[in-house]
A and B are shown apart, each in its own frame.
Chain A
Amino acid sequence: GAVVSQHPSRVICKSGTSVKIECRSLDFQATTMFWYRQFPKQSLMLMATSNEGSKATYEQGVEKDKFLINHASLTLSTLTVTSAHPEDSSFYICSARQWGATEAFFGQGTRLTVV
């Protein structure tokens, strides 16, 4: 299967700072990237969908100014959590899909802890 690389796998940051998470498709062109969030003992919730070169589409209840998504190339998308607070502590995972492909592929996830 195709490979999606997500970094970092773990990050601890201070409250009020910003954190950037990278998601790269290594061997295919990711025309669409998806970002999910998972709180402890809960399922994955879609945060936003981004198509290469376009603005991301955010799900209801997700603050677009807080969770900045950039998808400027066909192999890289970034999620920046701005002015992070302890309640943003969560597991963030990206998924990448090539147009017309039958399957989306997932990164390894990033465990964010805000202290």
Chain B
Amino acid sequence: KQEVTQIPAALSVPEGENLVLNCSFTDSAIYNLQWFRQDPGKGLTSLLLIQSSQREQTSGRLNASLDKSSGRSTLYIAASQPGDSATYLCAVDDYKLSFGAGTTVTVRA
């Protein structure tokens, strides 16, 4: 069974600082890995999807890397803003998605 771990569980940074969120998984036989954002009481917003054959994906200030062999992915958010405050979920896709517990980010103005 796929186990997904996210570290740290929570993060508080001043505005402008770069964020580094980590995700690890136990089974490398995956189709892709996806990062989501979830605001309190809301659904999921897909941020980035990295296919198993890719090493990284970028969208604006967001960059996600994938190292399948070591079972790791990292989400980088550059120049954080208060609007980036949310919970970030990593999901590993081996046809059904397995989610990590999330990293709750607070960006202080």
Across the two chains, which residue of chain A brings its CB closest to B51?
Answer: A102
Which DSSP category, helix, strand, loop or mixed, fits chain B's interface? strand
Interface size on B, residues (CB 8 A): 21
Listed residue (B31, B43, B98) with the most chain A CB atoms within 10 angstroms of its CB: B43
Residues of B29-67 contacting chain A, CB below 8 A? 31-32, 34, 41-44, 46, 49, 51
Does A1 have its Cβ within 8 Å of any Cβ on chain B? yes
Q: Which residues of B contact A106 (CB under 8 A)?
A: 43-44, 46
Q: How far is the CA of A45 from the CA of B96 in the complex (A)?
A: 11
- A14-22, A81-89, A107-115 - the one binding chain B: A107-115
Across the two chains, which residue of chain B brings its CB closest to A104?
Answer: B97
* Beta-carbon contact of B99 and A95 below 8 Å: no
Q: Of the candidates B31, B32, B41, which one forms a contact with A111 in the assembled complex, judged by CB atoms under 8 Å apart?
A: B41
Listed residue (A1, A45, A49, A103) with the most chain B CB atoms within 10 angstroms of its CB: A103
Q: How far is the CA of A38 from the CA of B9 in the complex (A)?
A: 17
Does A30 have its Cβ within 8 Å of any Cβ on chain B? no
Q: How far is the CA of A28 from the CA of B51 in the complex (A)?
A: 21
B36 → chain A closest CB, angstroms: 8
* Beta-carbon contact of A108 and B100 below 8 Å: no
Q: A43-B89, A44-B89, A102-B31 are in contact. Are A34 and B97 (CB under 8 A)?
A: yes
Q: Of the candidates A1, A43, A97, A109, which one forms a contact with B43 in the assembled complex, judged by CB atoms under 8 Å apart?
A: A109
Q: Which residues of A contact B (CB under 8 A)?
A: 1, 32, 34, 36, 42-46, 49, 93, 95, 97, 102-104, 106-109, 111
Q: A46-B98, A95-B97, A103-B32 are in contact. List 5 more A-B contacts (CB 8 A).
A: A1-B46, A36-B99, A45-B99, A46-B96, A106-B44
Q: Which residues of B contact A (CB under 8 A)?
A: 31-32, 34, 41-44, 46, 49, 51, 89, 91, 93, 95-102
